[in-house]
Structure 1
Amino acid sequence: MRVLIIKTSALGDIIHALPVIDYLRQVSTGVEIDWVVEEPFLPVLEHNPGLSQIHVVRTRKWRKAPFSAETRKDLRALRMELRERCYDLVFDIQGNLKSGLIAWLTGARERVGFTREVAQEKANCLFTTRRIPFRDSDRNVTDRYLRVVSALFGRDYRGMELTGAIVSAPEDEAAAERYRAGLPGGPVILFQVGTTWNTKLWYPEGWSELARRVVARYPGATILINWGSPGEKALGERIAGEVGPAVHLLPWLRIRELIPVLRRVDLVIGGDTGPVYLAAAVGTPTVSFYRATSAATYAPQGKRHRTVQAAMECAACYRTSCDRDGECRRSITVDALFGAVTDLIGQYPNGKDAPC
């Protein structure tokens, strides 16, 4: 059997979908699994031994010039590439118009996706031949992806041990190992201070106070700041200036370079954002906080992870801007996050050796 997974973006969503590979390999002997992904997120998948082929798409570029000769050429090539694989099943777990079109381009008779009520864009349902409803128990986004994929195999994913492995190139692993060897011997904790929505961010003073408490509680600890924009870099520099030499800014890292670094730190702290989910996928404990989004839906699962939901009656509002933004940020207290840090480090001082 040859199966195609369409999950093109974004970083965190692709990571949440990785267990579908393990599910398919467990329920279907000899299955070949292909995946469609946006070019920036290829490093999450490109070394995965469970995948037979990866189709890379560049839909952002295509949207900018939909009628250009280059776009038409790319789409013709994608259609040919997909149809040559002769898929028995296509699972569209993206749920928007572009993913629906990609599913249609495959020419597959069985194209499975979301119901109209939950699809990101209702037009997606024009391109699927079967639409799978969620159950009330499918609260976490990974559960929802697995519900769609498992519906045709007659075996519920619940009770199965499923992982979402991410494999790096040897040269990237070696570079991260050299970087880690140059740090002090105490615990290494990474702060992921940035994300895409303002309503997912924490407040700067909170990051600095949390860093002070970590350094005071764990002498010899190193705090690394990951950043991806000038604003995030400036925040990292502010934290380092206010806390002292225990805080280090990472160099700007591409996804493929960041993955093995996350594998080598002892704990990652951040909001609802891709690097936190990358950390969880490679086995690193996490403390994550949620404001406009829901911890129940997106938070990493398992004993090595702690979550804090904003203490607001309107939390998980999914708004990208809000007049009460400052109040919401401060409803996530330093005490709550620091308590989660000490709880994890106390239980699992060697985070990578902790049970899942």
Structure 2
Amino acid sequence: MNVLIIKTSSLGDVIHALPVIDYLHQVSPGIEIDWVAEEQFLPVLEHNPGLRRIFAVRTKKWRKAPFSAETRSDLKELRKGLRERPYDLVFDIQGNLKSGLIAWLSGARERIGFTREVLQEKANALFTTRRIPFRDCDRNVTDRYLRVVSVPFDRDYRGMELAGAIFSSPEDEAAAERYRAELPEGLVILFQVGTTWSSKLWHPEGWTELARRIVARYPGATILINWGSPDEKAIGERIIREVGAAVRLLPWLRIRELIPVLRRMDLVVGGDTGPVYLAAAVGTPTVSFYRATSAATYAPQGKRHRAVQADMECAPCYRTSCDRDGECRNSISVDALFAAVTDLIEPANGS
């Protein structure tokens, strides 16, 4: 059986969708799976042994110049690649107009996706031939992707042990190992201080106080700050100034370079953002917090993960900005995050 998965973005959502690969191989041995993703997220998929082929798309660039020769050539090549081997099933678990068009370009007769009421872009429903409703038990976003994929195989995903692993090249693993060897012995904890929405961020004072408490509780611990913008780097530099040499800036890393570094961390702390989900996917414990979004929907699942939801009556609001932003940030307490950190670290140390 040949199957196509369309999950193009974002980084976190592609990671949340990875267990569908394991599900499909368990329920249909010998299945061959292709995947369509945005070019910048290929490192999450490119070394996965469960995939036959990955198609890279550049939809933002195409939208800026939809009638350019380059766009027309890219779409022609995509259509040609998608039709090289007929797909028995196409699963559109992106659910927007662009993914619907990609599903249609595949030429597959059976294209399965979300029901209209949960689509943000209702036009997507024009391109699917079968639409799967969620159940009340499908609370986490991964559950929802698995629901759509599982129905044609008549086997519920619940009760199955499903992995969402991410693989790296030997060269990137070796580089991460060299970097880890240069750090002091002891705990190494990574802070992911940035994310895409301002309504998902925490305040710098909170990060600084959390770092102080960790360093005081665990002498010899190292805290690394991951950053991807000047603002995030400035927060890291502030934490270093106020806490001291136990805190370091991580070098700026591309996704493929960050993945094996996260694999070598003892713990990752951050909000609703891709690197936190990368960490969980490679087996690293996480502490995550949620303000505008829902911990029940997005937080990593399992005994090695802890999540804190903003203590606001309006949370989760799914707004990208808000007049009560300061109040919402402060509702994520240092006490709650530090308690989650110690809860994960101390059992592992036998304390």
Q: TM-score, normalised by structure 1?
A: 0.98
- Supply the distance in 2 between the matched residues of 1:348 and 1:322 (Cα, whole angstroms): 39
Map Cα deviations across residues 135-169 of structure 1 (whole Å, 9 max, x no partner).
01100000000000001000000000000010000
Q: CA deviation at 1:346?
A: 1.2
The residue type paired with residue 219 of structure 1 is: P
The residue type paired with residue 165 of structure 2 is: A
Matches within 5 A, 1:158-197: 158-197=158-197
Q: CA deviation at 1:94?
A: 0.1
Aligned to 1:333: 333
Aligned to 2:141: 141
Question: How many residues align structurally?
Answer: 350
Map Cα deviations across residues 196-217 of structure 1 (whole Å, 9 max, x no partner).
0000000000000000000000
The residue type paired with residue 289 of structure 2 is: F
Aligned to 1:256: 256
- Supply the distance in 1 between the matched residues of 2:94 and 2:348 (Cα, whole angstroms): 35
Aligned to 1:203: 203
Q: CA deviation at 1:29?
A: 1.5
State the identity as a percent.
84
Aligned to 2:342: 342
- Supply the distance in 2 between the matched residues of 1:148 and 1:85 (Cα, whole angstroms): 23
Q: Which runs of 5+ in 1 are unaligned?
A: 351-356
Matches within 5 A, 1:239-250: 239-250=239-250
- Supply the distance in 1 between the matched residues of 2:337 and 2:27 (Cα, whole angstroms): 39
Aligned to 1:222: 222
Q: Which runs of 5+ in 2 are unaligned?
A: none
Q: CA deviation at 1:119?
A: 1.5
- Supply the distance in 2 between the matched residues of 1:348 and 1:34 (Cα, whole angstroms): 38
Aligned to 2:103: 103
Q: TM-score, normalised by structure 2?
A: 0.99
The residue type paired with residue 178 of structure 1 is: R
Q: Is 1:44–2:44 an aligned residue pair?
A: yes
- Supply the distance in 1 between the matched residues of 2:349 and 2:37 (Cα, whole angstroms): 36
Matches within 5 A, 1:78-157: 78-157=78-157
Name the SS for the 2:83 alignment partner. helix
Map Cα deviations across residues 58-86 of structure 1 (whole Å, 9 max, x no partner).
11110110011110111011001101121
Map Cα deviations across residues 281-300 of structure 1 (whole Å, 9 max, x no partner).
00000000000000000000
Runs (4 or more) in structure 1 with deviation over 2 Å come to none
Taking only aligned residues, the RMSD between alpha carbons, in angstroms, comes to 0.7
- Supply the distance in 1 between the matched residues of 2:174 and 2:99 (Cα, whole angstroms): 36
- Supply the distance in 1 between the matched residues of 2:127 and 2:285 (Cα, whole angstroms): 39
Q: CA deviation at 1:349?
A: 3.0
Name the SS for the 2:191 alignment partner. strand
Name the SS for the 1:55 alignment partner. strand
- Supply the distance in 2 between the matched residues of 1:283 and 1:81 (Cα, whole angstroms): 34
Matches within 5 A, 1:289-328: 289-328=289-328
Aligned to 2:23: 23
The residue type paired with residue 211 of structure 2 is: A
Name the SS for the 1:158 alignment partner. coil
Aligned to 1:73: 73
Q: CA deviation at 1:192?
A: 0.1
Map Cα deviations across residues 195-241 of structure 1 (whole Å, 9 max, x no partner).
00000000000000000000000000000000000100011001111
- Supply the distance in 1 between the matched residues of 2:260 and 2:237 (Cα, whole angstroms): 23
Name the SS for the 1:35 alignment partner. strand
The residue type paired with residue 231 of structure 2 is: G
Map Cα deviations across residues 105-147 of structure 1 (whole Å, 9 max, x no partner).
0000000000001123100000000000000110000000000
Name the SS for the 1:223 alignment partner. strand
- Supply the distance in 1 between the matched residues of 2:115 and 2:109 (Cα, whole angstroms): 18
Moved more, 283-292 or 79-88: 79-88
- Supply the distance in 2 between the matched residues of 1:85 and 1:236 (Cα, whole angstroms): 49
